[in-house]
Structure 1
Amino acid sequence: MDTATPAVTVALHDGETVVAQSSQVDARRHGELLLPAVDRVLNEAGLKLDAVTGLVVGVGPGPYTGLRVGLVTAAAFASALGVPVHGLCTLDGLAYAAGAEGLEGPFAVATDARRKEVYWARYADARTRVTEPSVDRPADIAERLAGLPVVGAGARLYPEAFQDAREPEHQSAAALAALAAERLAAGDEDGFLEPLPMYLRRPDAQVPKNYKVVTPQ
């Protein structure tokens, strides 16, 4: 599952192929949409939650509120079921999906970070990220990514900076699960991250610095 972008996306993978999947794009309803999506995917596969033997969750980068919905849900399921949970960079899922659609490297991935910024990273190919995820204004990285195809919603939001926007626009849990299955089959435990949020910047909501202190009379 992944809720680090406006896409609330869930998939079930049996180690060889995607069995069922669901994706809805709604930047404001991650908490409302995620659990019904899990139910829908399991029902489509004809399975119960206790059939799940492992979880994969996108760790971002992403905005604070949406991102933590997926991470907390994955942690709760893992605790209840007694199964492992593996973290993957959300940008890596988009890169893997782009490769499945025929895009060859090098290229970049950019998602909407709000505040007129994007989360982004460069890739040598669909499986190989060559920079750490970052958050920047599109104009500040346009020259560094000049001539490269750029995958994701961030590219479509800022066409003046990213002139070669490519599909997919939104994250897919099916691609994230397929990437995880590939790494697990290869015994590549180093290819996973701790299932902790990758924010890259402070949350929008902050405690006021100069709030009024009320003391008892």
Structure 2
Amino acid sequence: MILALELSGPCSSIALGTEKEIFEKDFSGERGKALLAEIDALIQHTKVKRSAIRGVLVGRGPGSYTGLRIGCTAARILSLALNIPVGGIGSFPAAVFDAPEDIELHLVQNAYRGEICHAAYRKTKAGIAEITKPHLLASQDLKGILPAKSLVIGDPQLTPRGTRHLSNTIIPQAKNLIRVAMGLGVKLSGEGLQGLEEPSPLYLRAAAFKASQKNDDASTK
């Protein structure tokens, strides 16, 4: 069984992947205070033992500075406490997991300071293919890299006219972190987790986007 933590977006979630199904729980409030209590609540709801958890998976962004720091720190602590492997995975692939197949999908997120975070993916039967990895660019330069009538997940106010929006908000889900990881060969036994990325926040620039606390959940690091 794998425990997944996704705290990079405006809605935080945790999930337990079992042999039968994936159980997920969304939560809000102060993530630093709520996370461990929410994990305990999910374990109680699924009626499994903490000792049955064989690995921890965490979304590493891009996303909220505070959420990424809390999620990655918690994942490492749980890994040490339970003596189980831990792995990190990009949050953006999880955000496009439920998208239609074989369509190029662009993710656009406000990075503040006059910049945009952009990435592009395509969902296939084999998994999530990365077309353009997450990167920063000046807001005015986004129009030059979005093909006409591009399909976008992200704030319409950030994109040029003519783009189509599958969703106005990037919301990665913990359950989809597990599904993306399984597509990369990770087993529910925890095997393969250590072959993923480090469980550390994905920061696209140093001193990462310290916007106001009010806007933190929408910021990109």
* TM-score under structure 2 length normalisation: 0.76
Cα RMSD after superposing both structures:
2.9
Determine the structure 2 residue equivalent to 1:93: 94
Post-superposition shift, 1:118?
3.7
Q: Deviations over 1:109-164 (max 9, x none)?
A: 2344344544321113351012221123443213312322112xx33453546731
Determine the structure 2 residue equivalent to 1:10: 14
Greater Rg over alpha carbons, structure:
1
Equivalent position SS for 1:79: helix
**Which one is further off, 71-80 or 181-190?**
181-190
Confirm or deny: 8 A CA contact 1:3 1:58 kept in the other structure: yes
Does 1:24 pair with 2:24?
A: no
Q: Distance in 2 between matches of 1:122 and 1:9?
A: 23
The one-letter amino acid of 2:184's match is R
Q: Deviations over 1:64-119 (max 9, x none)?
A: 22211000000000011111111101111112232xxx353211123443445443
Q: Distance in 1 between matches of 2:68 and 2:121?
A: 23
Post-superposition shift, 1:15?
4.9
Equivalent position SS for 2:145: coil
Structure 1 segment 1-217 matched on structure 2, within 5 A: 1-15=5-19, 17-18=21-22, 20-24=23-27, 29-98=30-99, 102-115=100-113, 117-125=115-123, 127-146=128-147, 147-151=149-153, 154-158=154-158, 160=160, 163-167=163-167, 169-185=170-186, 192-201=196-205, 202-204=207-209
Which ranges in structure 2 are unaligned for 5 or more consecutive residues? 211-221
Indicate how the Cα distance of structure 1 residues 157 and 38 shifts in structure 2: closer, same or farther if over 3 A, else same: farther
Q: Distance in 2 between matches of 1:9 and 1:120?
A: 23
Indicate how the Cα distance of structure 1 residues 160 and 175 shifts in structure 2: closer, same or farther if over 3 A, else same: same
Aligned length: 198
Identity %: 25
Equivalent position SS for 2:198: coil
* TM-score under structure 1 length normalisation: 0.77
Post-superposition shift, 1:13?
0.6
The one-letter amino acid of 1:133's match is P
Which ranges in structure 1 are unaligned for 5 or more consecutive residues? 206-217
Q: Distance in 1 between matches of 2:25 and 2:112?
A: 24
